[in-house]
Chain A
Amino acid sequence: MSTPPLIRVVEREALVYVRLWRGLAFTTFVQPALYLAAMGIGLGGLVSAHSGSVGGLAYLDFIAPGLLVASAMQLAAGESMWPVLGGAKWMRQFHGVVATPIGPGELYGGFVLWTALRSMLGAAAFLLVAALLGAVPSAWGVLAIPAAGLCAAAFCAPITAFSITQDSDLSFPMIMRLGVLPLFLFSGTFFPINQLPGGLRPFAALSPLWHGVELGRAATTGRFDAVAIVTHIAVLVGCVVVSALFGVRAFAKRLSS
């Protein structure tokens, strides 16, 4: 029985993760606890005292899925920049991979798949911490994990396709500051997008993170609308597929030309 090339690429990434897990434990468990404590409980207490709820949800319940999915996005974005340039240029492991039967497109696909899986690990840890703090009212909440994974893939696929074309990491901090951070703040993570000025609301709906956050929130609160769910999933899958058309080509150009 042969193992698909994509999975063989994931195996390598997983082994690196297992070997280095101690360094990653902090970001996996401690960061969600800090976020939820500060935003959910600290700020949430103020919000509850002031207006009672956000869209019928306690603020902690509102913000927990937002932070869960947004953390997955941040992790995926970071993993799609420096490690990609490292594999292509600094450490050059990608060149070692494409010398084997595994092709550049499969390497790209495996990398995106791994990033999604790794984000799901982080999301699972986040969900556990959130549940312990009483921020996950619904048992559907476990579905926030695949929602986070899908959202991570929707970010990893395009950013990885971009990173492989780069010769230096100069553009990466700009992507973080001008792309990832604004999305983090304005994609319905901390407040519903109907709080935004009317003209900006359509832009928030273009954010893949908003779709991911809505999916995650539907899961943890158990309140959902089937049409909206299908739309969110379709948008995120669309992001991955369209990006992959570029990513496969960009990997081939960089590694096998």
Chain B
Amino acid sequence: MRRVVVESPGLLATVQDLGRPGYGLQGVSRAGAADALALRIGNRLLRNAEGAAAIEMTLTGGRFVFPEGAEIALTGAAEGYSVQRIAPGETLRLGSFVHGARGYLCVRGGLAVPRIASSASTHLLSGLGGGPLRKGEVLPIGPAHGEIADGAAPMALRTYSKELRVTRGPQADWFDCDRFAQGEYEVSTESNRMGLRLTGEPIVSSHDGQMVTEGVALGAIQVPAGGQPILLFVDQQTTGGYPKIANVITADLPSVGQLRPRDRIRFQFVSPEEALAALRAQEALLACI
């Protein structure tokens, strides 16, 4: 069986696929690639199943050796977006990412790592799917099927936005949403796969009611008493007691996965119909690869 050997994981590298939904009743969030679009593009280029497991790298690439060689696709912040052939014994060296936060190293055949509850995703908090990749770790590569695509990913799918489209949150009435949409927020360095802490002009609630703890959707923007929003992300807590002003639309979640500390972002409210249209347009482009 072919392998990939982690010579250096960079800042943080984990194995991810499209996540492990269905465990909300156990308090476990979905996990999966922070930029699921980049993962799916890489796998489509390699003619893998879209959700094949790959390596997600954070802010910096790593160093990987392929003793038996491999065909790979680098996507997201790793910016290859075409199939590369790696010769047996060759080392792949990736530097720091310039644009975006997360790069994906997809391999033809996918990573054949153990799956827990039908997913290979790493959920850092619970330890599901193992922890961060360590130097020297060896990951087996699965068998390949079919022919590799000679196509490329449309530019529109490789372009990320710092103006995130949102729908109104369940407690949007508690806040001045116009002011929120006019503001600019900085992504704090205390951001990770669980959530992104944003700093900016405090958002003050006009409501004096008490929240009852309720489930929180992926991409929810909750506002604690201090008024500095927190965007809940793929390894998120599953319930929360803070009011939620807005929710990032599904089509823009990949852009959230590419936000770097100190990036400045804005929010734009759209209707649920516009959110769905944006997602359908994205899926139609993806289907072309």
* Chains A and B bind each other: no
Mark A residues whose CB is within 8 Å of B: none
